[in-house]
Amino acid sequence: MHIGIIGSGKIGGTLAAHFATAGHEVAIANSRGPETLRELEAELGGHVHAVTAREAAEFGEVTVVAIPFGRYTDLPSGAFDGQIVIDTCNYYPDRDGHRADLDRDATTSSELLQEVLPGSRVVKAFNAIRFDDLREQARRDGAQGRRAIPVSGDDAEAKTVVGALIDQIGFEPVDVGTLAEGGRRHQPGTAVYTVDLNAQQLREQLESAPKHP
Ligand SMILES: NC(=O)c1ccc[n+]([C@@H]2O[C@H](COP(=O)([O-])OP(=O)(O)OC[C@H]3O[C@@H](n4cnc5c(N)ncnc54)[C@H](OP(=O)(O)O)[C@@H]3O)[C@@H](O)[C@H]2O)c1
């Protein structure tokens, strides 16, 4: 599969390595341009190509957004139409600047991302695992009890595609609902955020968590 990744830092770089190992073609971008990514490109081998953000968005059948949430309106407009977008981002007001709607829980960061990428199908995933765990806990043998990754989104088919990618790179996808309902259940401050849980443990935690009104 062709996978674009916007953001080449801790999460974007780790996912690029996993997807390339799984045999996908990856186009990766940062904010400063592809010439600043030659070292990463060389390190990750022939399946990873350094490109601009627009090229990364246009390359992928699936595009990962792995940037500080506060920069989400910088994403190249119109480039994501028809695509599945994996949103790894989290809202951290100290880093991203305060937003009144998020501070009063009137919406979620993933719903805001979906609003600026209307032709795409946003799936929230990989936001609730630290990058070093993402790098080190992959179990590609499909072993029982491997770490679960919560997945939320409004499009069932898009969640299935993302779930298959998660399984391929060595984790257990768990569908936790829509962007609004599910997304709230694995964002910062929740009981499952960055906690090492297998699928059963994740479901148990989510069942005991308070539901959004
Ligand atoms: N770190 C974690 O363990 C972790 C875990 C789960 C989720 N997350 C979330 O995932 C997102 C990425 O986190 P990270 O830790 O990977 O961040 P990071 O290491 O700081 O990397 C951020 C990347 O985003 C790029 N970027 C920033 N603005 C951009 C723009 N307008 N267009 C294109 N690229 C842009 C940066 O490019 P430059 O290098 O050119 O500045 C950099 O490559 C955040 O929302 C974070 O909250 C992080």
**pLDDT value of position 38:** 97
Q: Whose CA is nearest to atom 20 of ligand 1?
A: 9
- Tell me how far the alpha carbon of residue 61 lies from the centroid of ligand 1, in angstroms: 21
**Structure tokens given for 176:** 């936790």
Closest-lying ligand 1 atom to the alpha carbon of residue 88: 10
Q: Are 16 and 5 in contact (CB under 8 A)?
A: yes
Q: Are 72 and 102 in contact (CB under 8 A)?
A: no
- Tell me how far the alpha carbon of residue 3 lies from the centroid of ligand 1, in angstroms: 17
**pLDDT value of position 213:** 58
Q: How far is CA 173 from the centre of its chain?
A: 12
pLDDT tens for 163-196 read: 999 999 999 999 999 999 999 999 999 999 999 9
**pLDDT value of position 212:** 65
The residues lining ligand 1, judged by C-beta closer than 6 Å to any ligand atom, are 6-12, 29-32, 53, 66-69, 71, 74, 88-90, 92, 127, 130-131
**pLDDT value of position 201:** 98
**pLDDT value of position 11:** 98
Please identify every stretch of the chain with a pLDDT value under 50, giving residue numbers as ranges.
none
The half-sphere exposure of 28 on its side-chain side, counting CA atoms within 13 A, is 34
Classified as helix, coil or strand, 27 is strand
DSSP, residue by residue, 42-107: HHH-TTEEE--HHHHHHH-SEEEE-S-GGGGGGSPTTTTTT-EEEE-----HHHH---HHHHTTSS
Closest-lying ligand 1 atom to the alpha carbon of residue 53: 33
CATH code of 2-208, in short, is 3.40.50.720
Q: Whose CA is nearest to atom 6 of ligand 1?
A: 127
Task: State the residue for tokens 């977008």.
Answer: 85
| All structural domains of the chain with their residue ranges | 2-208
**pLDDT value of position 168:** 97
- Tell me how far the alpha carbon of residue 200 lies from the centroid of ligand 1, in angstroms: 30
